[in-house]
A and B are shown apart, each in its own frame.
Chain A
Amino acid sequence: MASEIVVVGTSTGGLKALQTLLSGLTADFRLPVVIVQHRGSTSENGLCEFLAQSSRLPVTEPEDKEPVMSGRAYLAPRDYHLLIENGSFALSVDPAVAYARPSIDVLFECVADEYGEKAIGVILTGANNDGARGLAKISSQGGVTLVENPETAASHEMPRAALAQTRADWVLPLEEIAPCLNKLVSAVAVHYGS
């Protein structure tokens, strides 16, 4: 089954991890990559521009109802939950989930619903357990799951919490996650072409 979307969740230590991940994706990476990085509700912008510097894919914060495009990276805007519906982004100002808005679980559960087995979920470093429920849902819908190896992650709680609920398809050190995604995505493309 060809994957159609990659969702990534991270919190503490996420900036560096996202730089590594994004810089490792090939320029022709053909799926949308949608990222939730926990961030303060009042901190100023600039995160997006910062990540764009290390990414070959364009990185933007989506507006409400903006269509989800392939080959682009999207960063959940601060102080909103990010959801996807009928191929477009949908924002919400529902209360924080486990103190987080944007919440990784909200995005992942919604994507599991919307994309089923065509979703790839990735959990990186973080100091809380957001994302564990969402990743489990992606897995239960037949999607692909990757978790950063907690042994080597900057902050191990989030990967560990995810692994406690999901037998991830891949548990990898940070540097190997982008190459794995490149392979997963292009392998399917080759398979499709043949």
Chain B
Amino acid sequence: MSTVQRAVDKVEDIEIGLLLEGLYRVHGFDFRDYSRASIKRRIYELLRAEKLDTVSAFQSKILHDNACLERFLLGVSVHATSMFRDPSFYLTFRKRVVPLLRTYPTVQIWIAGCSTGEEVYSLAILLEEERLYGKCRIYATDISQAVLRRARDGIFPLAAMRDYTSNYHQAGGAHEFSDYYTAQYDHVIFSSALRKNVVFSEHNLATDGSFNEFQVILCRNVMIYFNKDLQARVHNLLYDSLSMFGVFGLGNKESLKFTPRETLYEHLNEKDKLYRKVA
């Protein structure tokens, strides 16, 4: 590798560090402990979309232009997930978690890092079918207002419904999936009844604290974007927010292994990354 190329790369890394530091100091959004490999990729995609050439130019625009800041936050918080992603997770949730939830008079649920809401609607449908929805309150949080607006709207591309329908049935869904939405042109809008007990709200896992005690916390494919230090901090936060014997769900390639709270949970099902707080 030429020394010139190496120097250019190093400048890029310094610029990214400065951008993240500036964003934190000026706006309080803390991406400094995000996984650098992923966020670097995102930053470059976003700056190309802004038709800029350097991270430094992007930094200047983010710090001085609120619309640009909002686009940045949306860009780094939209995760391309799907409804009933990993159907076996939801199937296990039906079989193992639902019976536990029946024993509570009310159930507080936190979906931490809900992005555009696919998981929120999936869980609401599941709870509705199990006749539990009425006593549940779902707190769906994310860092970006724009992303929460989308989640609240509950509008998804029609083209995705084929995969979602198949996921839904694999996840133990026994109804017509299309009963839950109304199609219009190339989009569908999900029934507002599914949002009745959902509170969408801004919360930043990197900087905000606990705000309630929950019987269920799902934080799937969110911490993969964090480095090990931030992961450890967030594991502590989620643990502290979960009631004793509460249920904790992760993405299917995430693990409690090597986290500070590993020994304080038991597996409900190892493959589907569903845990129960036992200590």
Contact = CB atoms under 8 A, between A and B. Distances in A.
Contacts of A110: 37, 41
A148 interface: no
Interface residues of A, number: 32
A129 B1 CA distance: 25
B211 interface: no
B79 A93 contact: yes
A83 interface: yes
Interface of A: 41-42, 61-65, 77, 79-80, 83-85, 88, 90-96, 101, 106, 109-110, 113-114, 116-117, 140-142
Contacts of B42: 94
A106 B44 CA distance: 12
A90 B35 contact: yes
Interface in B1-47: 1-2, 5-6, 9, 35-38, 40-42
A145 to B, nearest CB: 13
Nearest to B36: A85
7 contacts: A42-B163, A64-B223, A64-B224, A84-B37, A88-B228, A92-B41, A110-B41
Nearest to A92: B38
B245 interface: no
Interface-central residue, B38, B167, B228, B253, by most chain A CB under 10 Å: B253
B279 interface: no
B258 interface: yes
B1 A93 contact: no
Interface in B75-107: 78-82, 85
B177 to A, nearest CB: 15
A93 B166 contact: no
Contact of A93 (B2, B35, B224, B228): B224
Measured as residues with beta carbon below 8 angstroms from the partner, the interface class of chain B is: 20 to 34
A64 B38 CA distance: 12
Interface of B: 1-2, 5-6, 9, 35-38, 40-42, 78-82, 85, 163, 166-167, 221, 223-225, 227-228, 231, 251, 253-255, 257-258
Contacts of B167: 42
Given A83-B38, A94-B38, A142-B1, A41 B163 contact: yes
Interface-central residue, A61, A62, A110, A114, by most chain B CB under 10 Å: A110
A101 to B, nearest CB: 8
A62 B227 CA distance: 16
A80 B80 contact: no
Contacts of B41: 83, 92, 94, 106, 109-110
A88 B255 CA distance: 14
